[in-house]
Amino acid sequence: MKPLPASSGDLIADRRADYAEMLFANGEHAAAAELMLGALELAPAWAMGWFRLGEFQEAAGAPTEAARAWRMALQLAPDDRPGAALKLQLIGEAPASTAPPSAFVETLFDQYADKFDHALVETLGYRAPQLLEAAIHAAAPGRTFRRAVDLGCGTGLMGERLRSFVNHLEGHDISAAMLKKAAARKIYDRLQKSDLQTLELEPFLADLVTAADVFMYVGALERVFATVAGGLEKDGLFAFTVERYDGAEDFRLRETRRYAHSEAYVRRVLARAGFSAVTFASDTIRMDRTLPVTGLIVVALRLPDPFLFQIPLGG
CATH of the domain at 69: 1.25.40.10
204 within domain boundaries: yes
The letter for the amino acid at 83 is G
91 and 226, same domain (yes or no)? no
Burial 140-176 (b: 16+ CB within 10 A, else e): beeeebebbbbbbbbbbbbbebbbebbeebbbbbbbe
45 within domain boundaries: yes
298 and 157, same domain (yes or no)? yes
87 and 194, same domain (yes or no)? no
Q: Would you list the DSSP string of 160-204?
A: HHHGGGEEEEEEEES-HHHHHHHHHHT--SEEEE--TTT----TT
The letter for the amino acid at 215 is F
135 and 261, same domain (yes or no)? yes
How many Å apart are CA 265 and CA 249, to the nearest integer? 8
104 within domain boundaries: no
Instruction: Give the pLDDT of the chain (315 residues) as one tens digit per residue.
Output: 344 557 888 999 999 999 999 999 999 999 999 999 999 999 999 999 999 999 999 999 999 999 999 999 999 999 999 999 999 999 999 998 899 999 999 999 998 788 777 777 677 888 999 999 999 999 999 999 999 999 999 999 999 999 999 999 999 999 999 999 999 999 999 999 999 999 999 999 999 999 999 999 999 999 999 999 999 999 999 999 999 999 999 999 999 999 999 999 999 999 999 999 999 999 999 988 888 999 999 999 999 864 544 444 443
148 within domain boundaries: yes
156 and 211, same domain (yes or no)? yes
Q: Domain limits at 53?
A: 11-95
How many Å apart are CA 298 and CA 245, to the nearest integer? 14
**Could you give phi then psi for residue 145, rounded to 5 degrees?**
-95, 140
131 and 231, same domain (yes or no)? yes
CATH number at residue 184: 3.40.50.150
Per DSSP bridges, beta strands 166-173 and 206-211 are: unpaired
CA-nearest of 241, 239, 242 to 165 is 239
201 and 230, same domain (yes or no)? yes
Torsion of CA 67, 73, 79, 81, to 10 degrees: -90
Instruction: Say if residues 241 and 266 touch (Cβ distance below 8 Å).
Output: no
55 and 175, same domain (yes or no)? no
172 and 224, same domain (yes or no)? yes
Domain boundary among 35, 64, 95: 95
3 within domain boundaries: no
81 and 147, same domain (yes or no)? no
57 and 119, same domain (yes or no)? no
Look at the chain and report how many structural domains it folds into.
2
Domain boundary among 62, 95, 128: 95
158 and 63, same domain (yes or no)? no
pTM above 0.75, yes or no: yes
101 within domain boundaries: no
